[in-house]
């Protein structure tokens, strides 16, 4: 669960502190899914699932609990206190992306997430609580780091 994508282990990107998208939007109004799992102190990790566009959408906060078995975890949805079993596997990323992960059990229905190296949330401290998450701020940071995505937002303003 520590890394995903790429053929060699050293090429794989970490699952945590990184934005994963179902697809790269072509325009600001395109609907995409997003997954972010943040590093946390101890075995508790927190994250968010997002479904929407760069302009509108909804999110679900969760607690992420890696399982002792490689590629498995539990996702506890905080609003409903519902636990979901998750199984991950690597996949081949689309052109222009660096890593791909299949997430079986995603409660929003998405299965395939991809990321780029520059989509890492650099300098992000470990969180102690989901209330410390700043999803909008992290997305703004992602936009600033990726000229292709920043151009999408600039077209809409």
Q: Tell me the whole-structure pTM to 2 decimals.
A: 0.81
- Residue 11's pLDDT is what? 56
Angle between helix axes 147-156 and 135-145 (nearest 10 degrees) is 110
Q: What is the pLDDT of residue 114?
A: 95
Q: Is the dihedral of CA 134, 27, 57, 18 positive or negative?
A: negative
User: For residues 134 and 7, is the Cβ–Cβ distance under 8 A?
Assistant: no
Residue 87, pLDDT score:
92
Q: Which residues lie across from 69 on neighbouring strands?
A: none
Half-sphere exposure of 123 (CA within 13 A, CB side): 3
* Total domain count, the chain: 1
> 46: domain range?
3-156
pLDDT tens string, the chain, 157 residues long: the values are: 444 444 445 556 788 888 899 998 888 888 989 999 887 666 678 889 988 887 888 889 999 988 888 888 999 999 999 999 999 999 999 999 999 999 999 888 878 999 999 888 766 555 666 666 666 666 667 767 788 777 776 665 5
pLDDT at 124: 57
Nearest Cα to Cα of residue 47 among 21, 25, 76: 76
């Amino acid at each position: 669960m520590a890394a995903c994508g790429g053929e060699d282990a050293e090429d794989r990107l970490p699952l945590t502190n990184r934005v994963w998208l179902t697809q790269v939007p072509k325009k600001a109004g395109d609907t995409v899914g997003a997954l972010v799992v943040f590093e946390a102190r101890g075995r508790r990790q927190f994250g968010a699932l997002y479904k929407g566009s760069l302009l509108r959408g909804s999110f679900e906060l969760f607690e992420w609990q890696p399982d002792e078995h490689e590629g498995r975890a539990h996702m506890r949805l905080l609003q409903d206190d519902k636990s979901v079993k998750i199984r991950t596997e690597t996949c081949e990323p689309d052109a222009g992306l660096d890593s791909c992960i299949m997430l079986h059990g995603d409660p929003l229905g998405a299965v395939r997430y991809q990321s780029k190296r520059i989509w890492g949330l650099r300098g992000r401290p470990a969180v102690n609580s989901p209330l410390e998450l700043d999803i909008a701020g992290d997305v703004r940071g992602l936009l600033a780091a990726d000229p292709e995505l920043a151009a999408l937002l600039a077209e809409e303003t």
